[in-house]
Amino acid sequence: MNTYTNSKGLTLIEVLMTVFIMAIITSIALPRMDFFAVQNLSSFARKFSGEINYYFNQSVLSKTSYKIEIDFTNANSYSVFSYKEGEWREIKSKILLPEGVFFKDIITQADNFTVNNGIGEIRFTYLGYMDSVIIHITDRKDKNFSLITNSISGKVSIFDKYVKKGVY
pLDDT band at 106; cut points 50, 70, 90: very high
- pLDDT for 168: 46
Architecture of domain 12-159: 3-Layer(bab) Sandwich (3.55)
- pLDDT for 68: 95
Say how far apart CA 44 and CA 133 lie, in whole Å: 17
115-168 pLDDT, tens digit each: 988 899 999 999 989 989 999 999 888 899 999 999 888 899 999 999 987 554
Whole-model pTM?
A: 0.75
Domain spans, the chain: 12-159
Which of 140, 159, 54 has its CA nearest to residue 97? 140
- pLDDT for 149: 93
pLDDT band at 22; cut points 50, 70, 90: confident
Q: Annotate the chain with DSSP letters as a single string.
A: --------S--HHHHHHHHHHHHHHHHHHHHHHHHHHHHHHHHHHHHHHHHHHHHHHHHHHHT-EEEEEEEGGGTTEEEEEEEETTEEEEEEEEEEPPTTEEEEEEEETTTTEEE-SSEEEEEE-TTS-B--EEEEEEETT--EEEEEE-TTT--EEEESS--SS---
